[in-house]
Amino acid sequence: MASNDPAAPLFRRAGTSRSDFSNNEELRGTLQRRLRAVTWVSAVFNLGAALSGLFSTYMRARTASNPFSVGSSIFYVLIGVVFLLVAQLLRPSRPRSVRWLRWYEAVLFGIGAVSIIALNNYDYSTIRGLYELAPIDIALGHASYWTFQIVAYGVLIPNSSRRTAIALALFVAGALVADAIAIATGNLPTSLVPLVFIIKLLVLSLSSFIVWFGSYRYETVARREAAAHELGQYTLGAPIGAGGMGEVFRGEHRMLRRPVAIKFINSEQAGSNEALMRFEREAQATAQLTHPNTVQVFDYGRADDGTFFCVMEYLDGRTLDAIVRRDGPMAPARAVHVLTQLCGALAEAHDRGLVHRDIKPGNVIVGPRGGVPDVAKLLDFGLVTTHRVDGSSSGVTQVGAIVGTPEYMSPEQCSGADAVGPASDLYSLGALGYFLVAGRSPFAGRNVMQMLAAQMYETPPAPSTIVPNLPAELDAILMKALAKDPAERFRDAREMAADLAGV
């Protein structure tokens, strides 16, 4: 349900969305998969390093003078085996909480950092005599351990740029700690300290900056995607329509996976912030409509930027406008079937004091529903006006706030009369029925001003003059609905439906 406060945002629009890195199911699944990948890569890296060391000429040369030089390879093997075992804890069939995964992330990379520090100092102690021969190569070799750690964390683990920066800074500090220990134990000659520090700082700082920048760019894109496509509990999809009052997007409820249609109307399109507030009050009323031929309104609200939105059921079908323009005029029986359903939707709305005021072929979608073909759904009940039982306007929606579509507007609506009641909707429904059977509106081919004048003063040609085989009963029903005087039309939608049933 929407908030009672009109200004309370239900959806977070662009500029107000949080980062994508929050405690949610999507993050949990991604983090678990990435940590498992890092664990496998770490295992392969360590086992590969062990094999490389055991079969290298350099290792055999060291082995002859130092019986413990093979210890580094054994250490690599042990770490690799541990990683292989831990990877089994991260199988997709065993989902872990985000909190558990974050702790494992810290332990995994913390162990990796401590292992690299230990290996760096072990190498320092075993190649002390060779360091002066190739200091740059050995420094780069040690830096490669930390570069792997930096790249693995920054690229594979989903994090905010701030969290990534802190972790990378700790990795660089760990590399310097390893050298500091080597200096304190005398394993790193003081004469080589400036060269080693400069090489490591340069390599690791550049690597960290590149990785951090990638994380920052990813976070920026994630924020924009979240703002643009994640609207509270709904995910926004592709646009499916647009009009003078706003845009409609396909969406989906994130937890229920239920498809929805989300319509946005901003204050500029509506005319004023006051108009948006009226629309919200009207949406509260229309959300109570339950007729099967009325589109369901699931949610509504206003965002921080003043945008009003309605969340409606997503309908799989085509508008009457698209059907007639593609297939041509409807057969009378099918047209009667559609018009009868719309009469039912209007009857409930009128009973609740709601007048649609924009009934037209583009606002009716017809398609299969629950295995039943040709189910008509009347749209845009979020933008209506209200009327009292005596026929006067309630003043909730000011005259002119929603002008409707001239081709289907009643004479009283065209003239801007204060009292636009249910009879106006019946006139529009008659014009819609005219379009269905004739393939054109009653006054097609005229400009807006001519059409408004015709709606007020001219009687359209009977649809039977365009469709020779049109049943006389249907011809009479449509012409009665199109009467200029509201009193000469049907008393209500139920009377019109009863006459349609007799065709």
Angle separating helix axes 422-438 and 493-501, nearest 10 degrees: 30
Count CA atoms closer than 13 A to 440's CA, side-chain side: 13
CA-CA distance, 398 to 416, in Å (whole number)? 10
Query: Catalytic: 358?
Result: yes
Alpha helices per DSSP H over 18-157: 25-54, 57-65, 71-87, 98-126, 135-156
Contact present, 381 and 297 (Cβ < 8 Å)? yes
Q: How far apart are CA 276 and CA 268, in angstroms?
A: 10
Enumerate the H helices of 319-410 as residue ranges.
320-327, 332-351
Name beta bridge partners: 247: 242, 264
* Sign of the alpha-carbon dihedral angle for 30, 31, 32, 33: positive
SS3 365: strand
Q: Are 383 and 282 in contact (CB under 8 A)?
A: yes
Question: DSSP 3-state assignment of 312?
Answer: strand
Of 358, 380, 425, 499, the active-site residue reads 358
Residue 454 CB contacts under 8 Å (≥ 6 apart), including other chains: 442, 443, 446, 460
Amino acid identity of 55?
F
Q: How many CB atoms lie within 10 A of CB 248?
A: 19
Sign for the CA dihedral angle at 324, 330, 334, 340 comes to positive
Catalytic residue numbers, as ranges: 358
